[in-house]
A and B are shown apart, each in its own frame.
Chain A
Amino acid sequence: MTRWLARRAAQGVLTWAVAVIALFLLVRLLPGDPLAAANELPPETQEALRRLYGLDQPLLTQLGHFLGGLFHGDLGVSLLHGRPVTEVLLGHLPTTLLLGGAVFVADFAIAYWLGTRLAARAGGLEDRWTMRVLLTGHALPPFWLGLVLVWIFALGLRWFPAAGVSDPFLASHIPWSGRALDVLRHMVLPWLTLVLTTLVVPLRHHREAVLETLDADWVRAARARGVPESQVLRRHAARAALGPLVVLLGLWMPMLLTGAVLVETTFAWPGLGWLMAQAVGGRDYPLATGCVLLGAAAVVAGNLLADLLQRLLDPRVST
């Protein structure tokens, strides 16, 4: 197990490194230029900047410098923030983990519970309408749904704040519980937006997996032994379908991060996605690089976690 984990982790790091190098080369080979923001400066200044960032060096030397810096955890200095990129990323990571974690728990818990329930009622009215509603949710542009929710619940009904992660005018004597509540109130709308637009993917997957196990011989055997139908469903079929649900984690992660770029921007939720959009808008090339590296690392970690969980759930799996 330990050896397997070590090998899989090494594979993950290699995957990530290949992605990083490919992106680095891709951007350098395209007609674009990391210093595009400096186009209007005098040529001498541009030359100096080019030398400062090492852009006058041969491509391979640049790649070597970049990887060397990466190895030391040095990603350069963010142009927008004026601080090291690593510091900026670490500062915004908790915000994104909070929102992403809450979406993760909701997505997979609801998918497991509701997917099992719908599989038992497959083809019925509840099944058909729930799937219809959630499939529509998946077709909604997340940023647009966010705006509509803001329009209704923040600007119209004034139930929730429209943007940000906490109220800047909160009195300083408010205890931590009040502050936590304030953050939660800010999180409701972005959380709802992400859950509504992503939920159907794990849900549909789980529903189909349960449907498949419900046909299996050993489920029929359990029924024949007189196990009540509710137990057959919850104890046997749903648990056996956990494997496929866990596998989905690897696909769900990139979907969440792509959604996060748009939803975090819509709600000014200062996480990784918001940072990425900000970096692109502000032509902050080092920061954009850092965001991509972290995003790719998150996906690789998600895949690794999915493999690990799958192996723990089902010892027969040998990937």
Chain B
Amino acid sequence: MKPFRTPGARIAVATLVAFALLALLAPWLLQNPNAMPDPVGERLLGPSLAHPFGTDALSRDLLARLARGGAISLQVGLSAALLASIVGGSIGMLAGSAGRVADTLMMRGTDAFASVPRAFAILFVVAAWPEMPLWAFTLLLGVTGWYAVARIVRAESLRLMATDALTAARALGAGRARIIFRHLLPNVAGQLAVATALGVGEAMLLEAGLSFLGAGVRPPTPSWGGMIHDGKDVLLTAPWATLAPGLALTAAVLATNRIGDALRDAFDPRTR
């Protein structure tokens, strides 16, 4: 594919594939991420052959937790970003093609939702629903992430609606559904792909942040944010417990952002 010809984009794809493979092969290669074979004797071991990334304060293997946590992180990030793009894309295309009154109403509504900072909105729901399951958390990440997508897609739809091609389509009697699916969607698909790729990194960072605060993925399910939280109490004696998940998260987010930028360069030749 054209966007993936640069070395940077290739490294990014390779990084994500490596994380995915590690997570897929973990059941055969590594021990159970929640196993505590010797809760006292194997606490906070440094990196060794048996534990390449050392062990945490409950003597669980950090590499196994890293692999499983990465799979969860990527799953949550990807699902949330996809959901955000579907919601944002639909609302953007509807607003852009629905005429002035509906457009104004929808965009004012978007402004209202967007005025609540994402972390605040999610934390607020967690405050009232502390035992939120993972699927609800993912859903919440998705439904708080679509505002920017909706604005981009709406602007592009408005521009398209003013073109001769769309005037002709409407003159020929094309209905709302046909306009959206045959004319708008193919033309905003590129920007939607870019927004989705960039949204994955953002969602992963937020997921990690909220898990770090104890409001995201629940222990003992491993997550990178939760691992950083566990590691911070032993920062001086076992820095690897904090460094490893943070570096893994940074690498994954850099990779998804790089893919987003590569897509952007491919779909939008104006930016440099």
* A residues in contact (CB < 8 Å) with B: 11, 14-16, 18-19, 22-23, 26-27, 30-34, 36, 122-123, 135-136, 138-145, 147-148, 150-151, 155, 208, 211, 251, 253-254, 257-258, 261-262, 265, 273, 276-277, 279-281, 283-285, 288-289, 291-292, 295-296, 299-300, 303
A144 touching B254, Cβ below 8 Å? no
Taking the complex as formed, is B46 at the interface, i.e. its CB lies under 8 A from any CB of chain A? no
Expressed in whole angstroms, the minimum distance between the Cβ of B260 and any Cβ of chain A is 11
For B130, the chain A residues whose CB sits under 8 A away are 32, 36, 283
Known: A14-B108, A26-B125, A32-B130. 6 other contacts (CB 8 A): A23-B116, A139-B253, A141-B209, A144-B249, A147-B242, A295-B117
A36 touching B128, Cβ below 8 Å? yes
For B109, the chain A residues whose CB sits under 8 A away are 18
B208 touching A141, Cβ below 8 Å? yes
Residue of A11, A139, A289 touching B250 (CB-CB under 8 A): A139
A141 touching B205, Cβ below 8 Å? yes
- Alpha-carbon separation in the docked complex, A273 to B272 (Å): 35
- Alpha-carbon separation in the docked complex, A264 to B130 (Å): 22
User: Could you list 14 A-B pairs, sorted by A, with CB under 8 Å?
Assistant: A30-B125, A30-B129, A32-B128, A145-B246, A151-B235, A251-B148, A253-B117, A254-B114, A257-B120, A258-B118, A261-B213, A262-B213, A279-B127, A303-B111
- Alpha-carbon separation in the docked complex, A220 to B214 (Å): 56
B residues 138-189 touching A (CB-CB < 8 Å)? 148
Closest residue of chain B to A146, judged by CB?
A: B232
B119 touching A136, Cβ below 8 Å? no
A296 touching B212, Cβ below 8 Å? no
Closest residue of chain B to A284, judged by CB?
A: B127
For A251, the chain B residues whose CB sits under 8 A away are 148
- Alpha-carbon separation in the docked complex, A141 to B215 (Å): 16
Interface code B100-141, partner A: CB below 8 Å = 1, 0 otherwise?
A: 000000001101111111111101111111111000000000
Residue of B126, B128, B209, B235 touching A155 (CB-CB under 8 A): B235
* Residues of B contacting A: mostly: helix
* B residues in contact (CB < 8 Å) with A: 108-109, 111-121, 123-132, 148, 201, 205-206, 208-209, 212-215, 225, 228, 232, 235-236, 239, 242-243, 245-246, 249-250, 253-254, 257, 271-272
Expressed in whole angstroms, the minimum distance between the Cβ of A40 and any Cβ of chain B is 13
A155 touching B236, Cβ below 8 Å? yes
For A147, the chain B residues whose CB sits under 8 A away are 228, 232, 235, 242, 246
Closest residue of chain B to A251, judged by CB?
A: B148
A27 touching B228, Cβ below 8 Å? no
Question: What number of residue pairs across chains A and B have CB atoms under 8 A from each other?
Answer: 171
Residue of A123, A277, A296, A300 touching B213 (CB-CB under 8 A): A277
For A22, the chain B residues whose CB sits under 8 A away are 112-113
Closest residue of chain B to A16, judged by CB?
A: B115
- Alpha-carbon separation in the docked complex, A23 to B117 (Å): 12
A292 touching B116, Cβ below 8 Å? yes
A265 touching B213, Cβ below 8 Å? yes
B114 touching A283, Cβ below 8 Å? no
A139 touching B209, Cβ below 8 Å? no
B115 touching A15, Cβ below 8 Å? yes
* Residues of A contacting B: mostly: helix
A285 touching B128, Cβ below 8 Å? yes
Expressed in whole angstroms, the minimum distance between the Cβ of B32 and any Cβ of chain A is 25
Expressed in whole angstroms, the minimum distance between the Cβ of A148 and any Cβ of chain B is 7
For B257, the chain A residues whose CB sits under 8 A away are 135, 138-139
For A289, the chain B residues whose CB sits under 8 A away are 124
- Alpha-carbon separation in the docked complex, A143 to B128 (Å): 24
A141 touching B225, Cβ below 8 Å? yes
B115 touching A280, Cβ below 8 Å? no
Closest residue of chain A to B254, judged by CB?
A: A139
Expressed in whole angstroms, the minimum distance between the Cβ of B263 and any Cβ of chain A is 15
A285 touching B127, Cβ below 8 Å? yes
Expressed in whole angstroms, the minimum distance between the Cβ of A198 and any Cβ of chain B is 12
A299 touching B114, Cβ below 8 Å? yes
- Alpha-carbon separation in the docked complex, A257 to B129 (Å): 22
Residue of B125, B213, B228, B254 touching A32 (CB-CB under 8 A): B125
- Alpha-carbon separation in the docked complex, A229 to B167 (Å): 45
- Alpha-carbon separation in the docked complex, A231 to B239 (Å): 50
Residue of B116, B127, B131, B242 touching A296 (CB-CB under 8 A): B116
B117 touching A148, Cβ below 8 Å? no
Closest residue of chain A to B112, judged by CB?
A: A18
For A145, the chain B residues whose CB sits under 8 A away are 246
Residue of B120, B148, B249 touching A141 (CB-CB under 8 A): B249
Interface centre among A150, A261, A291, A292 (most CB of B within 10 A): A261
- Alpha-carbon separation in the docked complex, A148 to B127 (Å): 29
Expressed in whole angstroms, the minimum distance between the Cβ of B230 and any Cβ of chain A is 12
Closest residue of chain B to A34, judged by CB?
A: B128
For A15, the chain B residues whose CB sits under 8 A away are 108, 111-112, 115
B128 touching A19, Cβ below 8 Å? no
Closest residue of chain A to B253, judged by CB?
A: A139
- Alpha-carbon separation in the docked complex, A280 to B125 (Å): 9
For B206, the chain A residues whose CB sits under 8 A away are 258
For B212, the chain A residues whose CB sits under 8 A away are 141, 143-144, 262
Closest residue of chain A to B229, judged by CB?
A: A143
A299 touching B117, Cβ below 8 Å? yes
A144 touching B228, Cβ below 8 Å? yes
